[in-house]
Chains A and B, each alone.
Chain A
Amino acid sequence: MVVYLDHAATTPVRSEVIEAYASAMATVGNPASIHGPGQQARRLLEEARERVAATLGCDPIELVFTSGGTESINLALKGLYWHRQQDRRRAAVLAPAGEHHATLDTVEWLERHEGASPLWIPLDDLGRVSLDTAAARFADHGPDIAVATALWANNEVGTIQPVVRLAALAAASEVPFHLDAVSAYGHLPIDLADLRAASGSVGAGGLVALSVSAHKIGGPVGIGALVVSRAAVVEPLQHGGGQQRGLRSGTQDVAAAVGFAVAAELMALERTAEQERLSALRDRLVAGVRATVPEAELTGDPRERLASNANFVFPGAQGDSMLFLLDLAGVAVSTGSACQAGVPEPSHVLLAMGRPETEARSVLRITLGRTTTEGDVDDFLQALPRAYAQASRAGSADRDTALGARP
């Protein structure tokens, strides 16, 4: 039996979701069709939209279903950027360093293909964005910033950012602000109306868009949402049948939306109690790591962090060696975000936090979720010291070798 401690990558789909998904999948009808079956599908779809919107504090019309977090972020950043070029040129894009690759690569794409100029805000050694630098950037470049974005909770080190204050800075400069809530979803209370009010966001300035993904909360993979405030205009990425306010053409996946709705409602019901439980489990894990491997160093903000996240630097051991050894021992953890070839890369988040590459290669991320038990944490803690000792022996892949040395 595998001990699964990589819930930030994806978390098991809930049985209630599977049931609702399968049952919705058995109904025929394109929700855009005019006939009876179409109307029945449309009803399921719009009910699902209402149910998800209720958990995010937005109007159903403000919620656009997408294929997931990456699409939501692409749509928000490119769509807002393009719209902001309509009346006059605004080249700047403001984002913290250490964002998810969906953001980093989108901003870099805008830089290469649209002539955007990124304004990267540095992180401190706990992974927190510098509000002073952000304020200075808004003061210096405000009128030229097309869009600002920030990751609410870092998906690798778990640090929770002061996003309301960032959104307030954007609001004061009348810059549209996108909140990447993918990793925060299920952990932090997300309410668009509250967040807009708290940050003084009015009209098209300040917080106007927010991204989430269903599979982070036990929903199906392949569906997420971009919440777009009524006041904001986003240019679409894909064109066609004009579904979803024309923002996201394409036949809508009714079954996935229904599954998403079930997961969102269950999450909203259980979130507070579940966060307390995970937080206690996480503290048990952190204390256990410190007791068994005193060399390990917890990264990220020790207090303002996701309840489900523990991220350590294990000095002298490569993260991928430890992942491998733990995997063979039946414990699934992560080194952070993996690229498509599975080539382990140094954590760009730790690099953004000013850590050297050796440390950024010695990272292990352990993330807990709904199915995690005390026994899982204990199994991990039992396997850890041996994995660390062995991975330390193997050391860095760049080290000199004794074998094959030339005479």
Chain B
Amino acid sequence: MSGGVDSAVAAARAVDAGHEVVGVHLALSRMPGTLRTGSRGCCTIEDSMDAQRAANLIGIPYYVWDFSERFKLDVVDDFIAEYRAGRTPNPCMRCNEKIKFAALLEKALDLGFDAVVTGHYATIVTSPEGDRELHRASAWAKDQSYVLGVLTAEQLAHSMFPLGATPSKAEVRAEAAERGFTVANKPDSHDICFIPDGDTKGWLGERVGTETGQVLDRDGAVVGSHEGAHAFTVGQRKGLHLGVPAPDGRPRFVLEVRPKDNTVVVGPKEALAIGEIAGSRFTWAGRAPEVGAEAIPCDVQIRAHADPVPAALTLVGGELVVHPETPLDGVAPGQTAVLYSGTRVLGQFTIDRTVSAVPVGAAASA
């Protein structure tokens, strides 16, 4: 129970469904702030008090479990290391994978619980064969199945998402108000919870450091300089401050971030189009699909709120390879690709490499 409206209503619904429920708030920082600020929706003492008040009203016991050490190692340090390596991580997915459905779930199972209930908007469906499957929420706009794509069969077997069938967030807020929860109108959280002021670039700069490096075009010519490759993300257009204009005078975008030699590669928008993504670190959300060298159809989604794109999936030599029917925009290594079959989440992989849909030199003549 983060102190937000979703987990409060999820807990209440689990109680209504007849389960014996205990409210748990995760302490993810040893030095929590006192009051909520900006669009952070968790991790202050005020949020912890909000969660406790909701638990009081539901009539369930409430405890704070301290996972601050694990959170630092598995989420915060990982976030910094990934940026250092030139990749773009998703810390919320990492938290689901390593904290909520791992450290928390495991401790809960050991202490005698059966499942972890969260306020995520996603659905668990039991297939005719009796397998637990992860599906999108019925309200497409709120669907959070992407950030749960990392869950495995074992984790899904002990997870409950009571909000999955809710038509909209407005209904959850209305239900919270009806139940008398003080958090009914609490703003949604947007920012990364461990970056207090929402200034991700500044926060990373302090930890990763700044070092002047070169900005190159696709042919390797130096077109500018920068103060640290980690500050750039693939697809970025603003803030490049390039000294040399493009020959055709068109805007340029970040195509690639190379942390090893601290360089950033820029090029025309067309060159952002990615025709192939691949990765060898993958998990299946439940029963694994039968996939090999022969392509099977799926949909691929590369960001929490991106549209899924129909694609062909193969598994060759331990590496998943996805060819989208239409090129993907702004894909960076380190991002997670979640694979769907209709509304069902098949699994996910971390993107290790991408192949441009437009070869070098083609963009200029295009």
Q: Which residues of A contact B (CB under 8 A)?
A: 320-321, 324-325, 327-328, 340-344, 390-391, 393-395, 397-398, 401-407
Contact = CB atoms under 8 A, between A and B. Distances in A.
Of listed B69, B111, B283, residue having the most chain A CB within 10 A? B111
B36 interface: no
Contact of B65 (A393, A397, A404): A397
Contacts of A405: 102
Interface string B57-74: 000010111110110000
B110 interface: yes
A395 B111 CA distance: 10
Given A328-B22, A407-B282, A320 B110 contact: no
Contacts of B315: none
A341 B64 contact: yes
Interface stretch (B147-155, B171-179, B228-236, B303-311): B147-155
Contact of B111 (A394, A398, A402, A404): A394
B283 A328 contact: no
Contact of B281 (A340, A342, A401, A407): A407
B98 A342 contact: no
A407 B102 CA distance: 14
**Interface size class, chain B:** 35 or more
Contacts of B150: 404
A407 B64 CA distance: 30
Contacts of A401: 70, 98, 102-103, 106
B66 A390 contact: no
A343 B27 contact: yes
A320 B283 CA distance: 33
B106 A402 contact: yes
Nearest to A392: B110
A401 B71 CA distance: 12
A218 to B, nearest CB: 27
A393 B69 CA distance: 19
A320 B63 CA distance: 9
B318 to A, nearest CB: 10
A160 B32 CA distance: 34
A96 to B, nearest CB: 25
Contacts of B106: 394, 401-403
Contacts of B110: 390, 393-395
Contact of B107 (A343, A394, A407): A394
A330 to B, nearest CB: 11
Given A341-B45, A391-B111, A403-B155, A320 B282 contact: no
Contact of A404 (B27, B32, B61, B98): B98
B102 A403 contact: yes
A406 B281 contact: yes
B194 to A, nearest CB: 16
A390 B63 contact: no
B112 interface: yes
B111 A343 contact: no
Contacts of B65: 320, 397
B67 A397 contact: yes
Contacts of B155: 403-404
A121 B155 CA distance: 50
B190 to A, nearest CB: 23
Given A341-B49, A342-B48, A404-B102, 15 more contacts: A320-B66, A328-B22, A341-B64, A343-B32, A343-B48, A344-B64, A394-B106, A397-B103, A403-B102, A403-B105, A404-B98, A404-B150, A404-B155, A406-B281, A406-B283
A126 B61 CA distance: 35
Nearest to B350: A406
Of listed A328, A343, A395, A398, residue having the most chain B CB within 10 A? A343
Contacts of B66: 320, 343-344, 397
A401 to B, nearest CB: 4
A405 B155 CA distance: 11
Given A328-B22, A341-B32, A393-B110, A398 B282 contact: no
Interface in B285-310: none
A406 B102 CA distance: 11
Given A324-B63, A404-B150, A397 B107 contact: yes
24 contacts: A320-B63, A325-B111, A328-B61, A340-B45, A342-B48, A343-B32, A343-B48, A344-B64, A390-B110, A390-B112, A391-B111, A394-B106, A394-B111, A397-B66, A401-B70, A401-B98, A401-B103, A403-B101, A403-B105, A404-B150, A404-B155, A406-B281, A407-B281, A407-B282
B77 to A, nearest CB: 13
B97 interface: yes
Contacts of B103: 397, 401
A407 B283 CA distance: 8
A344 B69 CA distance: 13
Of listed A325, A401, A402, A406, residue having the most chain B CB within 10 A? A401
